[in-house]
Amino acid sequence: MSLKIVAEKSPIKKSVEVVVIREYDEKKDKEEVEELERQCEFGQQQGNPSLITHLLGDPLGRIRHFSTRIMMVAEFGGEIVGVIRGGIKDVTRGKKAADLPVYVKLAYILGLRVSPMHRQKGIATKLVKKLEEWCKEKEVDYVYMMTDCANEASINLFNYKLNYTKFCTPTVLVQPVHAHRKPISSGTAIVRVPPLVAESIYGRIFTNSECFPKDIGSILSSKLHLGTFVGVPKKYLQKWDPLKGLPPCFAIMSVWNTKEIYQLQLKGVSKLTKACCLGSRVLDAHMPWLKVPSIPNMFKPFGFYFLYGLHLEGKGSLGLMKSLCNFAHNMARDDVACAAVVAEVAQWDPVSEAIPHWKRFSWSEDLWCMKKLQKKQGIDDSQPLDWSTSSSSSMLFVDPRDF
């Protein structure tokens, strides 16, 4: 006796799962997004030492300080497989019209992640396009993003698929925090100025720069802002009134507590290198007077301070800026969770000459790419129509919220 199985010819409807892009729901999505972030470990490159980014329990942390912000997730088969964040701000465009700064509405894309198991399926493209649609609804003029010049996947996506263009390539300077304190010049006075005074000073300095945020006051009043400091020669100190102007020679700097939002970790380093770094720390901790250039423990998650609003003027101001940076280093030294001090400046900015850094940890080109979304009305016709392809100023303000 045998059984014969006969297949009936009947139409079978196959369910086709689609990628759904929706807004992030903090109550429902938090744990799943945190797991996705852990899977992606941004910055990891096989075979090479690299810095990995660790968010600190708040997926919205990197955009909370934007007044207008959004976070979107990509859902596939009931699972979150991608995420993107964006914030909007009004910034200066680098030129004036009738002696007034020209502002444009600029959106910043950050935190684009796609699960390793779902890459090469167009999910990242869908996320960016959906975010751009949201930007257009908010009447955003330009949208931009930052990436490492070595990140080929990101460059291919934004430059070749989504028509973003190279805008500028600032330099990122990293100074490890040593166990010993760094010297402040005996002829330099460092004055901490309150947020309202700092806002006034920055308004005068950066009005004609690029990317200076109109809401600088909210940045300077944030709990992550650790202070604005002005370095002046001591001979000017008694005569200088911060409310009335600036001395002929000065340097200014603000410090942002990035470690409260996310941390970094150096991976892919040999055991021998780790042992040498440990030896340098031990020697520096026990004999600080030797001023050994020790390397802190960057092989576990560490925090860092970000220096922004750096500017100098006058003869001898390079020395003032160096003292300010050493002052920030000493602030970080007193914070056990902080292992580095970081700054990002335009390549042509003379301030870069005064910022102490290690070339091994720094990188010369941080790629900024920009895209024009719609025409800005009311701008002087003599100015270039597309700011994204016509960088026009010698000064660039790096917003600490963007880093």
Residue 278's CATH number = 3.40.630
Residues 289 and 146 in one domain: no
Query: Could you tell me if 289 and 255 are in contact, meaning their C-beta atoms sit under 8 angstroms apart?
Result: no
8 Å CB contact between 399 and 385: no
- The verdict on 375 and 277 lying in the same domain is no
Domain range for 245 is 173-354
- CB of 62 closer than 8 Å to CB of 259: no
Domain shared by 186 and 212, yes or no: yes
Structure tokens at 253: 């700097």
Rounded to whole angstroms, the Cα distance separating 218 from 212 reads 13
Residue 399 is assigned to a structural domain of this protein = no
Distance separating alpha carbons of residues 402 and 361, to the nearest angstrom:
20
Residue 244 lies in a domain: yes
Contacts of 123 (CB under 8 A, 6+ apart): 19, 74, 76, 81, 82, 114
What pLDDT was estimated at residue 16? 53
| Whether residue 87 is found in the same domain as residue 59 | yes
Select from 311, 329, 354 the last residue of a domain. Answer: 354
Residue 11 belongs to a domain: no
CATH number of the structural domain spanning residue 61: 3.40.630.30
Are 277 and 384 within one domain? no
- At residue 45's C-alpha, the angle toward residues 40 and 49, to 5°, is 120
Domain presence at residue 394: no
Whether 285 and 230 share a structural domain: yes
10 part of a folded domain: no
401 falls within a domain: no
What is the per-residue pLDDT across 280-289, written as a single tens digit (0 to 9) for each?
A: 999 999 999 9
Find out whether 340 and 298 touch, Cβ atoms under 8 Å.
yes
What is 172-193 written as a DSSP string?
EEEEEPPSSPPP--TTEEEEEE
d(CA 307, CA 328): 8
Contact status, residue 387 vs residue 140, Cβ threshold 8 Å: no
Question: Domain for residue 341, yes or no?
Answer: yes
CA 84, CA 82: separation in Å to the nearest integer?
7
Whether residues 63 and 205 fall in one domain: no
- Name beta bridge partners: 306: 256, 342
Residue type, 365: E
> Are residues 112 and 206 both part of a single domain?
no
CA–CA gap between residue 128 and residue 385 (Å, rounded): 24
Domain count across the chain: 2
Tens of pLDDT along the chain (403 residues) come to 443 434 444 454 444 568 999 999 999 999 999 999 888 865 444 445 677 888 888 899 999 999 999 999 999 989 999 999 999 999 998 866 666 788 999 999 999 999 999 999 999 999 999 999 999 999 999 999 998 888 888 999 999 999 999 999 999 999 999 999 999 999 999 999 999 999 999 999 998 889 999 999 999 999 999 999 999 999 998 888 888 888 999 999 999 999 989 888 888 888 999 999 999 999 999 999 999 999 999 989 999 999 999 999 999 999 999 999 999 999 999 998 999 999 999 988 899 999 999 988 888 888 999 999 976 554 444 444 577 666 555 689 999 999 8
Q: What is the pLDDT, as a whole number, of residue 391?
A: 56
Residue 177 shares a structural domain with residue 104: no
Of 296, 269, 301, residue with least CA distance to 280: 296
Same domain for 113 and 250? Answer: no
Looking at the fold, whether 209 and 145 belong to one and the same domain comes out as no
Both structure tokens of 355: 């910022």
Q: Is residue 13 part of a domain?
A: no
If 0-12 CB within 10 Å is exposed, 13-18 middle and 19+ buried, where does residue 396 land? buried
Kindly report the average pLDDT of the chain as a whole number: 88
Residue 44 CB contacts under 8 Å (≥ 6 apart), including other chains: 50, 52, 267, 268
Could you tell me the pTM of the whole model?
Answer: 0.89
pLDDT for residue 381: 41
Q: What is the pLDDT of residue 363?
A: 84
pLDDT tens-place string over residues 213-254: 999 999 999 999 999 999 999 999 888 888 888 899 999 999
181 shares its domain with 136: no
